[in-house]
Amino acid sequence: MAKSIGVIGGGQLARMMITPAQQLGLALKVLAESADASARLAASAVGDYKDLETVKAFAKTVDVITFDHEHVPLEILELLEAEGKEVQPSSAALKFAQNKLAMRERLTELGLPVPNWARVSSVEEVARFLVEFGPEAILKTPTGGYDGKGVMVITDPDQAKSWFEKFDNLLIEEKVDFVRELAQLSARSVTGEWLSWPVVETIQRNGVCSEVHSPARDADQEKAANLSKQIAEGLGVTGVLAVEMFETSDGRLLVNELAMRPHNSGHFSIEGSRTSQFEQHLRAVSGLPLGVTDATKPYAVMLNLLGVDDSNTFIEHYPIALNVAGAHIHTYGKSARAGRKMGHITALSDDSIEDAKAIAQKAKQALHA
């Protein structure tokens, strides 16, 4: 087993790994972007994750490298691996989370359900796709996108022009007429052990996750779990894997995005599961047995706390908000900025999603969020 775990990236995901690392007494080190990063408490280094020497020096201090985000250049990870450093998920798996074209190609090879898509390298190819699958389509940059960035709904091929100045190839996909979006969280250990949480419904606003319901009402749990398992094994994923999916009106599940790390759709697991996604990620990447993923209560709702302006850090409203029984408020120690992911609230219920949501909403209102 790996005794010390190095996380590249000091955001809220790294921050929330600190709790299970402390509990289990595992050494967790973080390479943070800045001294005031969300995970600053565990930051053993501050530096640029795109700089080979910075990452190499950090990697020397730990047994295994893992991630808070998927933006570390693949070449750097390949170099570390070539020198014998353990990287989990490996560069071979991570490339499918970094590059949406590579992901679409691989999932198609594996025969897994994805929206109609094409690799396009010119406005003409975009035009042809729009004729076949339009009038609307989704254009995506192969790399660098997150939270709605690098994604554009287009109706006119010329809308692709500016992105072709930066990328030789783009991904274009049909605009799926989905009923709702689901996310299947699971974890695969370096030993091959695999366990999933319930498939959840995710609700986005302006391209950013706003709300998560666990479990997704009347979803085909088995189908979603099997799909995720095929992806985890087919792509050689280690650690937590989030599979974001579209559910169509005829009940199909189409894979939208992948993330190979703890994910916003799994924050409910801190209180809602006997093993949180953060603990599970540490177990999985360090070769420890996975923890059971049974729900602690039948229903969970998570609401994101997005910044409303540059002054409300939410903490100043705690004297009122912490009175809301059953609302688990998390803030990430970030300075306030409109639209920024500043925290989240989870509430559980024995009775219903509505009941859990009402509790979380009450706390959210009390935080003026």
Binding site for a second copy (CB under 8 A): 1, 3, 15, 18-19, 22-26, 41-42, 274, 283, 287-289, 291-292, 296, 313-315, 318-319, 322-323, 325-326, 328-333, 343
Minimal distance, residue 238 CB to a second copy, in Å: 16
Is there a contact between 203 and 258 (Cβ–Cβ < 8 Å)?
Answer: no
Minimal distance, residue 329 CB to a second copy, in Å: 7
Question: Which of 26/80 has CB closer to a second copy?
Answer: 26
Question: Which of 16/114 has CB closer to a second copy?
Answer: 16
* C-alpha span between 354 and 168 (Å, rounded): 46
Is there a contact between 245 and 256 (Cβ–Cβ < 8 Å)?
Answer: yes
Minimal distance, residue 333 CB to a second copy, in Å: 5
Question: Which of 108/296 has CB closer to a second copy?
Answer: 296
Pairing status of strand 208-214 against strand 43-46:
unpaired
Q: CA–CA distance from 82 to each of 5, 85, 90 (Å)? A: 19, 7, 11
Place of tokens 């609700």: 203
Query: Rg for the chain (alpha carbons), in Å?
Result: 20
Question: Which of 85/328 has CB closer to a second copy?
Answer: 328
Question: Which of 26/31 has CB closer to a second copy?
Answer: 26
Question: Which of 18/92 has CB closer to a second copy?
Answer: 18
Question: Which of 31/243 has CB closer to a second copy?
Answer: 31
Indicate the DSSP class of residue 273.
Answer: B
Minimal distance, residue 227 CB to a second copy, in Å: 25
Query: What residue spans of the chain are helical by DSSP H?
Result: 12-24, 52-59, 74-82, 91-98, 100-109, 123-133, 161-164, 221-234, 269-272, 277-285, 318-321, 353-366
Minimal distance, residue 305 CB to a second copy, in Å: 10
The candidate with the shortest Cα–Cα distance to 196, out of 119, 106, 291, is 291
Minimal distance, residue 234 CB to a second copy, in Å: 26
Instruction: Give Cβ neighbours of residue 148 (< 8 Å, ≥ 6 apart).
Output: 204, 206, 207, 208
* C-alpha span between 338 and 30 (Å, rounded): 26
Minimal distance, residue 1 CB to a second copy, in Å: 6
Task: Give me the amino acid identity at 8.
Answer: I
Question: Which of 23/34 has CB closer to a second copy?
Answer: 23
Minimal distance, residue 134 CB to a second copy, in Å: 46
Question: Can you say whether the dihedral through the CA atoms of 67, 71, 72, 73 is positive or negative?
Answer: positive
